[in-house]
Amino acid sequence: MNTRQPPGAPRPAPLPCLGRRAAGLALLSLALPRAGMAQAQEGGTMLVPGPEDGGCARWAARASASLSRGLHRPGALRLTYLGGPDGVTAANRFATLDGAGGTHFLVLPGWTCHARLTGATRARFEPRAWMPLLVNWHGAILAGRGPLPGRGGAPLRVAIPSPDAPEAAALAALDLLGVPAQPVSGTPETAFAAGEADALILTGPDALARAQALGALPWYQLPWPGEAEAGEVPPFPSDSPVAKGVLAAAAGLQMRVALVMPLLTPADTVAAWRRAAARWPEEERGQPDTGQALTGPAAASAFALLSPSPDATLSYRSWLERRLGWRPT
């Protein structure tokens, strides 16, 4: 075969001989676009219940700033406000997102999950399809005037703002313990301080101190993941579906707010955000009225309390209808 160039044809330029440094730079230039794609995947959108100057919005701003610092990328999260402070509209919208357009997060107050627990027809979402990245959790105790009475005493008065409010968990807890009780209308702490109620659930960063300030005696401590049980207050029994339904209702008071993401989020993306969240508990510690700042297994354990098994959920809904005559509309 004749491989000679025809007369007058331009000769091809010889291939350059790359040194080690030049070859390394060439490989690095090929890798940079892929690294940029990986960084872009760490960004995301945070869906936040409105209004833009509300409590959820302020918490979301702090969480977003902390996570962005953890990613070393300013502005890594975009905040989108939707619906009102009950969080149901935002949660319904979050449940419809298909994962297109990057990673999505939802700022989820505890009372939003409680609306789902009670069977409210507005709540068209399933919290068990989500996993928590950050959780702010309050301790809680069941307390009342003097020692917990026995089964034969006069009924205790329990103030409840409305049948579908999470404060109804105090009445459900007494029913489960076999202590006679009756509901009265009102805000629990206000009614207790005025002598119009005898038992209530107290929550907050230091629920025991709040009980002491009100003159209430602690009877049972409700779950507080991530921290040892207080030795002087026994844990509330939680070994039955009925008890888990009661604790799920109380958890609507205990979980101030959480940042959740879909369970189907890719594992490498979840790992990146969990690394970014590592400093958040320490940064959140100085904020007022935040309770425990939970991440990792402690956050998952706390969040699981709000979404019990179907039989526990049904038991609480049945109790609402039987005891308080409430049915979702």
* φ, ψ for residue 262, nearest 5 deg: -65, 145
pLDDT digits (tens, 9 = 90+) for 133-170: 999 999 999 999 999 998 888 999 999 999 999 999 99
Q: Is the peptide bond between 51 and the residue preceding it cis, with omega within 30 degrees of 0?
A: yes
Q: 144: number of CA atoms within 13 Å, CB side?
A: 23
Share of the chain above pLDDT 90, in %: 74
What pLDDT is attached to residue 153?
A: 84
> Which residues sit opposite 143 in a β-bridge?
200, 218
pTM of the predicted structure, to 2 decimals: 0.85
DSSP state of 229: P
Q: What is the pLDDT of residue 136?
A: 96
Residue 328, CA atoms < 13 Å, CB-side half-sphere: 15
Per-residue model confidence (pLDDT) at position 110? 97
Q: What average pLDDT does range 90-117 have in this prediction?
A: 92
Report the pLDDT averaged over residues 108-118: 97
> Please, which pLDDT band fits residue 286 given cuts at 50, 70 and 90?
confident
What are φ and ψ of residue 257, in 5° steps? Answer: -165, 155
Q: What is the pLDDT of residues 5-64, one digit of tens each?
A: 444 444 444 434 445 444 443 433 333 333 333 443 557 999 999 999 999 999 999 999
pLDDT tens for 210-234 read 999 999 999 999 987 755 455 689 9
- Tell me, what's the pLDDT at 52? 96
DSSP string spanning 123-173?
Answer: ----GGGEEEEEEEE-EEEEEESSSPP-TTSPPEEEEES-TTSGGGHHHHH
The radius of gyration computed from the CA coordinates of the chain, to the nearest angstrom, equals 27
Nearest to 227 by CA among 156, 138, 323, 287: 138
Across the range 90-99, mean pLDDT stands at: 91
* pLDDT for residue 285: 87
pLDDT value of residue 70 = 92
For residues 251 and 20, the model is more confident at 251
- Taking alpha carbons only, the member of 89, 15, 4, 3 closest to residue 47 is 89
Closest CA to 261 of 249, 253, 270: 270
Closest C-alpha to 172, from 160, 186, 154: 160
Give dist(CA 159, CA 198) in Å, integer.
Answer: 8
